[in-house]
Every structure is written in C-alpha cells, then in structure tokens.
Amino acid sequence: MKILLDEMYPAALADTLTAEGIEAFTARLLGLAGSSDSDLLEFAAREGHTVLTENVSDFARLSGERLTAGGHHPGILIALSSRFSRRPAGISAIVAAVKQIGGDELSDRLVYLERPQGL
C-alpha cells in the first residue's frame, strides 16, 4: 500500500509508516503543498496512492463525485480528529489503525479508521 498524507499530517507520520513497511508520502514531499483536495485525489488516483485525511466532508463528496462519473480511486482513509491526534503522541495510534486495515481491499472505498484498544 502507498499512502499520500493530506497536508495536516507531519512528516514524522510518513516516516513512522515507512519504518513499519507502508510506503507513505506527505503532500509537501510530492510537491502538492497548497493543492486543492480535488487535485490531491486526482494525483492519488493517477499514482496509486491511498489518501489519509481527517477531512471527511470534502473527501466523501469528492469520492462520490468521482465514482458517480465512472472514475476510480485507490481508497481514502479517514482518521477522524475526534479519534486520532496529529500531534507526535498520536502517531502510534494512527500507524496501528492503518496497519489494521493493511490487507483490506481499499479500491473505491472510504474507510473510517478505528482507534486500536489501548492506544
């Protein structure tokens, strides 16, 4: 799985995911800083990246529009801010949640990450 982290996430999250065997890239690293959510999803679909975001409203709408128009995407992971913190102390919970769904088929799906027990 290749993950494209939305702009709200720190490079430390990408580094930790990569250390755990999951290719992860920040929007900034890929030259997408300041891009619209639509452009971010377009890039992800073209390059085969699953998007990780907490922006459920925009990405749920964009996913629906894309699928309705006959398009596809490699998946969108939603880490709700009420469940996960972007701060350094919250990185391990996000990584564990991503690893929990690592083997699932994500194509064209919007998946809400669940906070693992004990984290």
Number of structural domains (the chain) is 1
Q: Which amino acid is at 59?
A: F
119 pLDDT exceeds 70?
A: no
Sequential DSSP letters for 9-39: S-HHHHHHHHHTT-EEEETTTTT-TT--HHH
Residue type, 89: A
User: Terminus-to-terminus CA distance in the chain, angstroms?
Assistant: 23
Q: Is 117 a domain residue?
A: no
* pLDDT surpasses 80 at 118: no
pLDDT digits (tens, 9 = 90+) for 5-57: 999 999 999 999 999 999 999 999 999 999 999 999 999 999 999 999 999 99
pTM listed for this prediction: 0.94
> Strand pairing of 50-53 and 76-78?
parallel
Work out the angle at residue 4's Cα, subtended by the Cα atoms of residues 64 and 82, and round it to the nearest 5 degrees. Answer: 70
Q: How confident is the model at residue 73 (pLDDT cuts 50, 70, 90)?
A: very high
CATH number for position 69: 3.40.50
Which two three-digit tokens encode residue 91?
């990185």
Does residue 119 belong to any structural domain of this protein? Answer: no
Is 118 domain-assigned?
no
CA 73-79-52 angle, 5° bins: 35
- Residue 26 lies in domain: 2-112
